[in-house]
């Protein structure tokens, strides 16, 4: 099997996560040949060189366009701020590269459609970084829902709480500016929740939402001045899935005390499932068919019965981590490339998520339900 060469753009949180996943995936998944960390791009050449040394990349560049054009590169990993996703993805697609782009796919649905269409036309493999739905326990949940283990689905309750901007003293950053980040909590956290909801229950067909900015302005560290925050800290919504199920969303980046609180409950007439990323190795399952007086939510610990857990560890309950989810994502990408078929979750998923986000923003503005 061919050893693919990766060009990675970005050296922050998620750039390092890609790098760790790319270097780890070969040891975990024998079906995949370990890729080569070929070249790393950052804003300037010196920083890129330092990061390449630290992160284990062979070469580096201060110019991402050069990376995208590099004939040695098979795959481009895009780990830059949101506003660059579209441009970089289009350039990579134009250069015939496979693309692994972080979420959200773009700043809005129009951009996302442009990118998804370009990728589809070019026939390159594409993947968007929705790592949480790659959790083996989420796949269990999906298959249980699909198999009818919960009976008729009656509702969805989802939330994604983090608190990285709860403190008003958190400084102004690109995340506060629409031209750089697009939406706020909705784009950063809500995109994951929407992906999760649709992964479990299929497409959302209509939404009602209200957005709020709790800390209206923040201090710019460089200048000391105070600037208005242009996007929302909180997004709350009601949703309606195409399959005729209703649900609620609560999304916040100012949810003091929560660190990675992506959680959902799916209610069915015969059972329910509950999950919380802060306890990512546990799936809670209530089986209505259990004997009277013996019913209760089971805490199912992730184990080798839940693909792909067994590739990481043959013993149950020993625990996967967030980076392991990225390894699964990397495997999805590399296997799709090797097999010449689409990867999942692809840019089509990224586009669908973006459309729901856009609809939530429009609903807030209109104070009305919006169809997608």
Site for a second copy in 223-242 (CB under 8 A): 233-234, 236-238
Residue numbers 62-121 binding a second copy by CB under 8 A: none
- Count of residues engaged in binding a second copy, rule: CB under 8 A: 99
What is residue 372's three-state secondary structure?
coil
- Per CB under 8 A, the list member of 8, 10, 23, 177 interacting with a second copy is 23
Task: Say if CB 212 and CB 233 are below 8 A apart.
Answer: yes
Cα dihedral sign for 111, 114, 120, 123? Answer: negative
Q: Should residue 293 be labelled a site residue for a second copy when binding is judged by CB under 8 A? A: yes
- Per CB under 8 A, the list member of 86, 306, 331, 352 interacting with a second copy is 306
Q: Should residue 257 be labelled a site residue for a second copy when binding is judged by CB under 8 A? A: yes
**Between 66 and 256, CB nearer to a second copy:** 256
- Per CB under 8 A, the list member of 45, 259, 339, 371 interacting with a second copy is 259
- Per CB under 8 A, the list member of 44, 174, 246, 371 interacting with a second copy is 246
CA 104 to CA 147: how far, in whole Å?
Answer: 30
CA 169 to CA 183: how far, in whole Å?
Answer: 20
Q: Should residue 196 be labelled a site residue for a second copy when binding is judged by CB under 8 A? A: no
CA 163 to CA 257: how far, in whole Å?
Answer: 6
What angle is formed at CA 116 by the lines to CA 110 and CA 118, rounded to 5 degrees? 105
Residue numbers 155-184 binding a second copy by CB under 8 A: 155, 157, 159, 164, 166-168
Q: Should residue 329 be labelled a site residue for a second copy when binding is judged by CB under 8 A? A: no
Residue numbers 308-327 binding a second copy by CB under 8 A: 312-324
- Per CB under 8 A, the list member of 63, 87, 117, 212 interacting with a second copy is 212
Terminal-residue alpha carbon distance, the chain: 41
Q: Should residue 368 be labelled a site residue for a second copy when binding is judged by CB under 8 A? A: yes
- Per CB under 8 A, the list member of 78, 300, 330, 357 interacting with a second copy is 300
Q: Which helix (H) or strand (E) holds 147?
A: helix 136-147
CA 136 to CA 6: how far, in whole Å?
Answer: 26
Chain centroid to Cα 183, Å, comes to 15
**Pairing verdict, β 75-78 and 226-228:** unpaired
**Between 69 and 139, CB nearer to a second copy:** 139
Q: Should residue 278 be labelled a site residue for a second copy when binding is judged by CB under 8 A? A: yes
- Per CB under 8 A, the list member of 178, 227, 298, 335 interacting with a second copy is 298
The minimum distance between CB 36 and a second copy, in angstroms, equals 13
Query: CA nearest 348: which of 119, 14, 95?
Result: 119
């Amino acid at each position: 099997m061919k050893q693919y060469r990766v060009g990675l753009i970005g050296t922050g949180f998620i750039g390092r996560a890609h790098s760790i996943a790319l270097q780890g995936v070969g040891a975990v998944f024998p079906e995949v040949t370990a890729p080569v960390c070929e070249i790393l791009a950052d804003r300037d050449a010196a920083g890129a060189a330092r990061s390449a040394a630290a992160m284990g990349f062979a070469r580096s560049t201060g110019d991402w366009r050069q990376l995208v054009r590099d004939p040695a590169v098979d795959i481009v990993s895009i780990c830059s701020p949101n506003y660059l996703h579209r441009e970089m993805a289009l350039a990579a697609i134009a250069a015939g590269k496979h693309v692994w782009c972080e979420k959200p796919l773009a700043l809005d649905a129009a951009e996302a459609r442009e990118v998804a269409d370009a990728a589809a036309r070019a026939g390159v493999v594409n993947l968007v970084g929705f790592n949480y739905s790659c959790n083996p326990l989420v796949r269990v949940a999906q298959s249980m829902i699909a198999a009818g283990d919960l009976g008729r689905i009656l509702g969805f309750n989802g939330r994604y709480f983090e608190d990285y901007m709860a403190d008003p003293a958190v400084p102004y950053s690109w995340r506060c500016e629409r031209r750089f980040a697009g939406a706020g909590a909705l784009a950063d956290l809500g995109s994951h929740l929407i992906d999760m909801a649709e992964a479990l229950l299929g497409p959302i067909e209509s939404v009602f939402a209200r957005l709020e900015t709790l800390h209206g302005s923040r201090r710019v560290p460089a200048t000391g001045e105070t600037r208005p925050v242009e996007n929302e800290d909180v997004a709350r919504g009601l949703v309606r899935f195409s399959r005729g199920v209703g649900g609620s969303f609560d999304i916040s980046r100012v949810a003091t005390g929560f660190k990675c609180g992506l959680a959902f409950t799916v209610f069915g007439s015969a059972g329910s499932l509950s999950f919380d990323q802060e306890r990512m190795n546990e799936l809670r399952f209530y089986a209505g068919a259990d004997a009277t007086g013996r019913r209760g939510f089971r805490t199912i610990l992730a184990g080798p019965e839940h693909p792909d857990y067994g590739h990481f560890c043959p013993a149950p309950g020993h625990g996967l981590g967030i980076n392991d989810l990225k390894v699964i994502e990397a495997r999805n990408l590399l296997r799709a490339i090797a097999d010449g078929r689409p990867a999942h979750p692809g840019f089509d998923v990224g586009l669908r998520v973006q459309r729901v986000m856009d609809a939530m923003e429009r609903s807030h503005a209109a104070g009305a339900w919006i169809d997608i």
